[in-house]
């Protein structure tokens, strides 16, 4: 990724230390508030642990561009079995079944074209941006929900589905079409690779 792309998408890094953020914030906030933020959890040993460590961080914003959650992609491989992506848990301000990655910026661009490109993941949206498509969002690897569709219908007249060309991506298109209903849709066929 270029420096410009890192800045545009506010991509950062959570260092490998398991309590890096906690060490910096523990004297500034109440423990209850730290837990409620979704940025920390209590270990089996009753110790505060950063939810995200050793991860490339993608901030998730609401329609007004305020950061409300995060998704982290594993940065350096370790011996432990860890999922490739880890998302913030649902909180008072974040519902993964409603929010879409890059929506605040895509809605600004969609006014020019009256359509939004719907993709699977963060890197798909970044690749679209690199190609000059700024009105792209992602459902962050989850199935498109009825709440996602209602959110999109308030902001655009047409969806362009750009899912992966593999079997999982094609199955996701069929499920998405069921959720989308009568909204105008265009499907972009991607190669299976």
Q: Are 100 and 61 in contact (CB under 8 A)?
A: no
Residues 157, 178: Cα–Cα separation, whole Å: 17
CATH of the domain spanning 103-187 = 3.40.1360.10
Work out whether strand 158-162 and strand 185-187 pair parallel, antiparallel, or are unpaired.
parallel
CATH 3.40.50.920 fits 3-87, yes or no: no
pLDDT of residue 100: 94
pTM for this structure? 0.87
For residue 87, which phi and psi values (nearest 5 degrees)? -110, 155
What stretch(es) of the chain map to CATH 3.90.980.10? Answer: 3-87
**Which residue numbers in the chain have pLDDT < 50?**
none
- Note the pLDDT tens digit of each residue in 113-125: 689 999 999 999 9
pLDDT at 81: 64
């Amino acid at each position: 990724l270029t420096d410009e792309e890192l800045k545009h998408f506010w991509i950062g890094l959570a260092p490998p230390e398991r309590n890096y953020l906690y060490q910096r914030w523990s004297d500034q906030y109440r423990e209850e508030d730290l837990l409620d933020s979704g940025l920390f959890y209590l270990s089996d040993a009753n110790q505060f642990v950063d939810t995200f460590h050793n991860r490339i961080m993608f901030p998730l914003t609401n329609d007004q561009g305020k950061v409300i959650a995060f998704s982290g992609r594993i940065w350096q491989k370790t011996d432990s079995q860890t999922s490739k992506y880890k998302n913030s848990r649902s909180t008072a301000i974040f519902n993964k079944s409603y929010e879409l990655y890059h929506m605040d910026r895509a809605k600004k661009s969609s006014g020019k074209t009256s359509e939004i490109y719907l993709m699977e993941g963060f890197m798909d949206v970044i690749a679209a941006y690199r190609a000059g498509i700024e009105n792209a969002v992602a459902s962050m690897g989850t199935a498109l929900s009825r709440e996602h569709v209602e959110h999109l219908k308030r902001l655009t007249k047409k969806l362009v589905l750009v899912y992966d060309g593999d079997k999982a991506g094609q199955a996701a298109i069929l499920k998405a079409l069921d959720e989308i209903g009568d909204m105008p849709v265009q499907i972009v066929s991607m190669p299976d690779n």
